[in-house]
Amino acid sequence: MRLATSIVAAVLASTQIATPVADACGGGGFMRFSPAMFLVARHNGRTFVLLDKNVERPGDIAWRRETMTYDWSETAAAPAFTTAIQLTLVGANRDRRLASANHVLIKPAFETHDAMNALEIYPQTREEARVAIAGEFKTTAWSEIENQPVSLETAAWAQNPGFTPALDPSALAVAKVIGTNLELVTAYAYDDKGDHYSTTYVRTAGGRPVGGYRGSPMGMVTLDGARYLVLVEAGIVMPVAI
């Protein structure tokens, strides 16, 4: 297992940016470095901040699974981090700042079957955090997405959006970020080996393309006035600065 101090250093030093699969013509201007963001996951009455998949020799770990539950997530004890990670939790109801060194290992059943480093946190009353962001921010806001019907125009556009790859028209999902003019078109795309992965194309209300990014949308977070579309792929958050 990687040393706890190394994990903390990597988390605190990291910035993330969504993996672009395509840019609009002359694109790239919409992308900038963003703070490290992590998914908040709930399993069997416990709450975790999913950090990364840098778990060495997961097959040698003594995993524990709850019985009599539909949630087959597995957890294991891990040495506490020597340095607490400062986080800002953001959700629809409230935000909260905390520092935690409560390191655990988890194989979350719903987000991914891969082993992950995580922090276990303890929610306060009525707190339903969606993401955790490394660092402290003075003002935060969370915007939900709202599913939309898939129109014939959207289905045709997804196959020829002005950049590649085209999306599989048989499984399109369309959403809008509430309170914005952003439309999100999500489906599977395929790599050179034929493997599929979730891809989201972002366009404004007039159909003007912003870009294509790997992952499925969960919402939008605003941090001290800067907006980031929150995309998730296999338990990892990949924010897009908008």
Q: How does residue 41 score in pLDDT terms, banded at 50, 70 and 90? A: very high
CA dist., res. 242 & res. 226, Å (int)? 8
What is the dihedral sign for C-alpha 7, 238, 116, 56?
A: negative
The whole model's pTM is what? 0.85
CA dist., res. 132 & res. 183, Å (int)? 24
pLDDT at position 79 over 50: yes
pLDDT of amino acid 70: 93
pLDDT of amino acid 22: 57
- Model confidence over 105-137: pLDDT tens digits? 999 999 998 999 999 999 877 778 999 999 999
- Model confidence over 165-213: pLDDT tens digits? 777 778 899 999 999 999 999 987 766 666 677 889 898 877 778 888 8
Contact 136, 111 (CB under 8 A): no
Tokens of 12: 């605190």
